Amino acid sequence: MEIEEAISRAKKNDQKAFNYLVETYWDAVYGFQLKRVKNENDAEDITIQSFSRAFDKIHSFDSKYKFKTWLITISKNIHIDLLRKEKHSIAQDISNEDSGAFQVMDETPSIEDRLITEQNLAKLLRDIKKLKPHYQQIINLRYFQELSYKEIATELDAPMTNVKVKLLRAKKLLAEIITNQK
């Protein structure tokens, strides 16, 4: 598969094209972030967010630019946003110093995680069944069987990067299903 073909297919929501693009560009985006943040876990998290945002916005990709440059730009912007949040949180900590209590960095679950957790189990299972089978499977492995990313990758015989991106997409789709019912 050529890059242009993969992008075209990804714009039509082709999962194989998404996987191909992740496999092709993962190392470039991850390496870029690793140089910036100097922490493997943070670099991996930002890289996953970068691919997720890129796939959410793939329809806006202009083919007169290089796809790799577009991905790196998205990744750079995510990192800048995270730095701004961190800076804002630190500023709040300093301003709250008088009260004797310090704010802890926001470790709350994402919007998608919160929506999923709020649902009762029966309703959640019905909503999960509305997902495509491969998304149902990955949600089941992660949240019901509580497997690690590595264990899921082994179970599915897939690269860990694909597992992470697929799980992120599954959570977003599930959150959309739940939100649309409210």
Reply yes or no on whether the pLDDT at 96 is more than 70. Answer: no
Contacts made by residues 155-160, CB under 8 angstroms, sequence distance 24+? 159/23
* Angle subtended at Cα 149 by Cα 15 and Cα 164, rounded to the nearest 5 degrees: 35
- Residue-wise pLDDT for 150-178, tens only, equals 898 899 998 888 888 888 888 888 888 88
- Residue-wise pLDDT for 112-132, tens only, equals 666 666 656 667 788 889 999
Radius of gyration of the chain (CA): 18
What's the rounded mean pLDDT across residues 36-55?
A: 89
Q: Which of 69, 109, 104 is nearest to 90 (CA)?
A: 104
Output the six-digit token pair for 52: 């997720």
CA dihedral sign of residues 34, 37, 39, 41: negative
Could you give the CA distance from residue 166 to residue 33 in angstroms, rounded to a whole number?
20
- Residue-wise pLDDT for 131-156, tens only, equals 999 899 998 898 888 888 889 889 99
Reply yes or no on whether the pLDDT at 103 is more than 60. Answer: no
